[in-house]
Structure 1
Amino acid sequence: MSALLRPSPSQGRPGKWTQARRRMFWPLWILSAAAAAALAQAPSGPDQIHLAWVEEPSTTLTVVWRTLDPAAPPLVQYRPAGSAKWLTAKGGPRASGARGQLHEATLRSLRPATKYEYRVSGSQGAWSEAYTARTGPRGAGSFDAVFVADTGMIGRADGLATGTKQVIEEIAKLDPALILWGGDGAYYNTDKRWGTLEDTIDAWFEQMKPIAVKAPMMPTYGNHEIFLQEGYEPWAARFPTPEGFDKRQYYSFDVGNAHFISIMAANSSKGEHSPEALNWIEQDIAAAKKRGQRWIIPFMHVAPFSDGSNHPSNLNLRKQMCPVLERAGAHIVLTSHDQSYERTYPLRGAPDSIRPTSTSKTCYTLQDGVSWLKVSPGGKMSNINGRFAQWLTNPAPAWTAFRDNTMHHFARLRISDGAVVVEVFGVSGDGRPPVVQDSFRYTNGSCK
């Protein structure tokens, strides 16, 4: 058994509610033990394979993988799907705390909106199995993106990761072109089965491989990555991104006619953004709109609008961020953090005179305000109350278009030149098919 994914004996000291939960989830624990054993069988070949878009998404793919042998060559073979001839790209080492060696290579001069097969090199002439990914569209072409956060690790001893495995499986079935990861992945402070933080990060990437090998996974970081016995640097070392601002804590990229902005928002109560960061966000969005990018979609971890009891609205973040994104012309803002799903009507006037520009549940135009989504959890319930977040107010705040605190969640964005259609999936975690709990769209035309 490899040391990489061998759980450590230390599980932490459970809270009082955990003993009852252990009895409740005993069948799940048997499954969890099997899942942990499967993870523990670290492959002898390359692993932790994941993709990124660092350069132009329509013509490049960046591939990252790990080998236990640091001398393994940093090579990727690739070809258009169905072609017989492999092409070879040479990369190099990527500095990180991973055991062995992390490698990175960028495939260039690819065709837009095209499926490619690829495989990565291991030791002594070995190769991984072949995976399939695709480049982004050029111009106004259509594509799907998925936002997911707050995953946790499969098989937690406290039984909280009741949806993680199924959430990953359901996203893989949808086969999106892009994964937006919203932070809070491993929860290392309460899950030390793998011993060190770096080994836990290794295990998290291997867990995410069913979706990370198929689509670029672009991150923003949560409070667990930044504060809770973890740290920005160990995680950022694993994720290639565009350079952006402030050591890549803020960055952006275009896919089709959408512009995505990753915003560092990890503090539950503070408005942590410097004037320089806020200015960078405004200038970045202005430049994107000047290039003709129609759909402005920021994503960050902490939510300015949340009626959840575990992590309520960050009012300081609301005061800082809402005016900036309203002025800049954002349409949909993706957040997470609190273990429930909420969506606002399109809003203007935050923070002091919040008003909806529409009370429709389903359709908005470019003249409408900003819809704020809090999409959580992506598999793991809260350590604070041992379940999904409870609501602070009932009925819901006036700005609420939809909310749910009974399931795990992820959001699919179906992006085209004429519209962004958002579907929020609820996952039970027990194998029942996911359900679309909420759906709405922003259109470039009319809602009539």
Structure 2
Amino acid sequence: MASAMNALAYNVVVERTMRQPVQEAKKKSRPTHHLNDKQTSFCNPWPSYRPQTPALWSSFILGRMPTPNPDAVTAAKVPIQTPTWGANLAADQIKATWLGHACFLVEFPRQEGASRGPRVLFDPACSDRCSAVQWAGPARYTPLPCRVDDFPTVDAIVLSHNHYDHTDTPTLTQLQKRDNPQVFAPLGNAPYLSSIGIPKDHIHCLDWWDDCIMSLSLPSLSGPSSSQSNTVKITCTPCQHVSARTPFDRWCTLWSSWAVEEVISTRTPKKVYFAGDTGYRTVRDGEVVEDQPVCPAFAEIGEKIGPFDLALIPIGAYSPRAMWSNLHAHPEDSVRIFKDVKAKKALGMHWGTWVLTSEPVLEPPRLLKEEAKKIGIPDGDFDVCAIGETRGF
């Protein structure tokens, strides 16, 4: 089915629409998250980020950080189901299918006359190990809910950064050969994407607050011989993280979150926020304190682009918090990101797939429920779903 639709689905026009005020500012001064004028070195420009201390790195490298008991991981029951891709959901809903870790396939509502809406795949990492090689590195303790070949046709792939649990070469090359999608990534990732066979005219590397308009022709309801234009706006937005694929390229490519919104005039456009992989603050000495700096980027995103119909927000890989708080969101942080970006609904991600840190496998969704209640998020507004499950929004 996917290949039969490709002739129409990939008549795509992507237009760079970087705002003029941003362009003018770049002529005068370097953005605070750029460490040089060549766009080859980046940083987190906020007091909410502090790097790990040498003592923390020493404990981590020498293996003194605790990890979950293997028997406890095996016994943990993360729910998994075969995807239906939202076949039973209303045509005017966003359909979000969790495929494990930070990978979501989001289908926007179909616009007038089209047989389906644009499909965006976030951070596809579908290999067994999130590693440079498949004979070593963290292995999945939950399987993919289906084969990559069983995914519906993908129109766009959006990458938050180049870590192996978010940017997976075998998955990207498989989807490129099958669907030839447009690929959106933060600055600096073009050489890598080109090296794995992504066509240069399908690679779109953006800085924070740059955006693109993607217009694609999708099969129409009247039959496969005709098509209907559908348009979405894709904006690269800030987050607090880091990048690297080797020991020698840390900070050399940018990291980001993303906002994707419909461009449509016949109804209120739907908006989705993908937080990628991010920290919210740095917790070094025990509990969070009242005046601890938090990353201001999320409130700015909420003001500039929100509110969002759906936010996809990380809730795992946070323990020990002293080690990972600057890069990964604890549920106490996740619920505040939800509030900052002005999300109406959210699904938790970045858990339930690989053991990357020391919290118990099933702790993130339990703590999420507790933390949401503490700050007054109604029950079910920020939820988790089964791997392979599709929710409608």
TM-score, normalised relative to structure 1: 0.37
TM-score, normalised relative to structure 2: 0.41
Question: Which has the larger Rg?
Answer: 1
Q: Which has the higher contact order (CA 8 A, sep 6+)?
A: 2
| Structure with the larger strand share | 1
